[in-house]
Structure 1
Amino acid sequence: MGGHLAELDSYCVINIDTRVIELNGSKIILRPKTFELLVLLAKAPGKVISKAQILESVWPDSVVEEQVIFQSINEIRKEFDSSEIIKTFPKKGYAWSCPNTTIVSEQFATKPKNSITPIFSFSKSTLVAVTASVTLIIASLYFFFGTPKPVQEVTSLTAENRQEQAFHNASKNHEGVVILPFNVSLLQDSEKWLRYGAMQGVIDQIQPVQGITLFQLEDVIEIVNRLSLDERKDISNIFDKSGASIVLDTKISGVPGDYNIVFSVYTPRSVDTKSLNVKDINEGISLLAQEFNQVTSPVTSINTESMDSKLRDSLIAKAISLLEENNPESALGFLQSALASDKANLYVHYLYSKVALNLGKIDLALESSKSALELNLEGDKAKYHNRLLFVFATASFIQKNYDIAEQTLQKAALESEMSKDWLYFSYTHSMLGKLHQYRSNYDDAKDYFDSALKYQELLKCPMGVAQTNLDLAEFYIVQDKIELAKSSIEISASLIKEHNLIDSKSDLSAIKSKLK
């Protein structure tokens, strides 16, 4: 923040090359468009600039509403800690009200009439006396220490030049940060708004840090629009077009209740990729902002533990990317490597067991989930315990260990309910429905299937609703209730077609074949 404005006693120096502003000795950084608006006003202190002039000068090639002006004006007032730094003239425009404003550049410098006055002033006779004194001091230094440095190196910098030099030095370490629109191509259509919604959510939660400028959403869109579709595939082009030194690229996949967020932090010389698994998007946005706040905070040291963590995170992120590409076999190998670097990580155990189960490697899924459950971790480290119980129970069910499967599913359901993991609460009830269906306990089975469907509908997950309806269809076929089975199949088929649920198409065909 710039500190309270002291009206006529205040001075402001704006460096149009480094984009650093100094108000009474405090540095201020603004986002690019807001900075351009500030310069436009500050070039003519006291002059009223209309909204039309501002839009034409600051946003010449963009179709924007006047609201963007209001937002930028408010941002300047907030950073300068003064509502009077820019005066509003209703129906006319805005005017800069700090007359002691200097605009500097490496090419030129302009000063308004009421510029900063020198701190000291001398008469001619005093100047002669001072010059004589300085000459005597220099001669003394020469006698004791040898040839001194040229006098101009010591005396030529004015207060203004020193300020400009300080700003130039500070700008060397200044960093611009670009958070790109999120890749949401693997999400359902109703969640595609997260491309910009989640992006804005992260921007809003990034903590301001001295020496770092965070580009706002409209700035990033403007930068991206400068690139062709092919150019956007190469992150280096973002650095070239924006001048940023840090770029965040994020991809979201999964279903409601089980989202994977893979994000990469790029600098011109490196890339660091990590992943997050969350139940809802708001949780993911908060965690992503926390992770990114650590990136922009000063790093004190790098130890072996942090290097191991970096390796594990990159292995997990690669595994998730391979799963998205429908390559579970390769993903399993990366997860195995991640487990080797952190055997107490329940999330990696859960992913590894789940992938093994989906690949039909039942013994491996049983073994890995069992060893993870034996770790007896507590607190946040036990976050995926309920999901591991589900994997272990499902593998046990497939191996026809029905009693163990039921006991474990009951535990999984209870833990899922306590942690409000409604997705796996639903999955667990579906499995309990199948178990009771196998035992011909049809009333209990129906209750579990209905409960599973209820929570899938609560989550608004098309995949989950479609799959549970297929479970119900199979349940009705076993009891020879063909019309009810057809009704459930019809609901499922409609969802699969509407949302292009490729993974459910083979299950739909299999259930349909049982009707013949």
Structure 2
Amino acid sequence: MSRYFQIGGVYFYPQKNEVHNEEEVIKVRPKTSELLTVLLEANGEVVSKSELLETVWNDVIVEEHVIFQSITELRKIFGDNRVIKTHPRKGYSISVPIIKKTNTSNNCEANQINTRHNIQPKTRLARKLSYATIALVVVLISFVTVQNHFYGKEPLADSGTIMVLPVTNRIMGAEHKWVRYGAMDLLIDNLQHQVKSLVLPTEMVLETIKRSELANKEFEEETIHQLFEASGASVIITQSIAGFNGEFQLVYRVYKENDVARGVLFADDLNTLFSDFHSLILTSLGAKQRKVPSDYQRNFANTLMASAIDETQIGNHQKAATMYRAVLATQPKNLLAIVMLVKSYVYLGEYVQAEEIATDAVKFIEQNGDIKNLGRLYVWQAVSVIQQKKSELALSLLNKAKPLSQEANDRLYLANNSRIAGKAYLQLANYEQSRKEIAKALSFYKAIREPYGQSSMYIDLGELELALNNIEKAKIAFAKASEIAGKSRLKQLVDIANDWLQKTAEVNTNL
């Protein structure tokens, strides 16, 4: 015997952590599922935040932001903010009719779902055949696309890349420090699910800001122009939040290369504020809003995590690494903390440490089926081992990562994959294969308009030409790298490319 709830036209199965509607079955995170169950059992009565924390998170010490995270996920699932009502300074309640039901068998449940969706067996078979036909066409199209991509023709550039910047947080109080990166990460995740354009992942946004030496600067007109050049983005979104519970304000700007849209939103609580802002942004980008599985983590909704990111931004990698470790002591599955810790150790030159952390993280991600993050961790694992000259191991890891990144359509990490493979083959003196991987990576970076990646690949190409003693070709590659980096104000890469040009000139003189 199992129970389930009918909430309007949606069905929630607590034992399965699933929400069923007419279009799809949506998996719900266990803690979010528990929170929804508590609200439903209250049957419309207000449940306080303290009661939710005591009931749902009684096994761990957490802050109130975890409630906000789960409420946001549920509102995305239901597609209607009115289902869960916020009562300022009191708590939350379900504001639509609730029907509690009980199934005596799994067959009964299956029959009810079939009747509810009005799907007959023959119809399902027909649909499966139709989907199979469509899938075959997609495979054929994908094959042709891959052939064109890897055998000389560059892929079409994306219609645009979107960059969401950290929030200018003017809310008083340490308990809201998480907003700077948490609200940014929340919007990035929402956009990645619902727009076709490439949305730069959080870690890439932070890396671009750091490379541009803008970590401690306000995001004004001049810095926005610099970020357009450094990132290759077509759209940049900024947010500034101020106020207090009962009266929050969000001032936003949506920059395009020759235009900027401005506006302000008001709300009594942060949940509503972010939900309204996300709806506005999606509408302005012409995106069709839809329900998506809400199994992602909110990794920045943590004060210590926010402080660690600040240290990373100003180059204090040792201090940042200590903080990321502290975060992971209480949140061992915080994937972004893991990735940032691995990156910190890579920056510090502690490659064995980086490899060990990435290897341990891969083990539990393999179990939960998180394709995108698993692919990314394999890539970072490869970065750490290639620095130790373990080229064959790096290639093995990249081979594991590639199909995962392809399945997740993670174009940035497909580019990174080819870049690292190119370095591995160069270490192995397999120059022909190294050139192919460099060409693939360069093509990917051009497609997503990522100038840092493009400049880096020309440096890698120059190194390859030097290994083959093609001095003039090496000069051309390094000069191209310097040119691209200069246009995008990537001072670090300009210096690296120019150093290589000088070394190349010295080699030529010695010859």
The TM-score normalised by the length of structure 1 is 0.44
Structure of greater Rg: 1
State the TM-score, normalizing by the size of structure 2.
0.44
- Looking at both structures, which has the greater relative contact order when contacts are Cα pairs under 8 Å and sequence separation is at least 6? 2
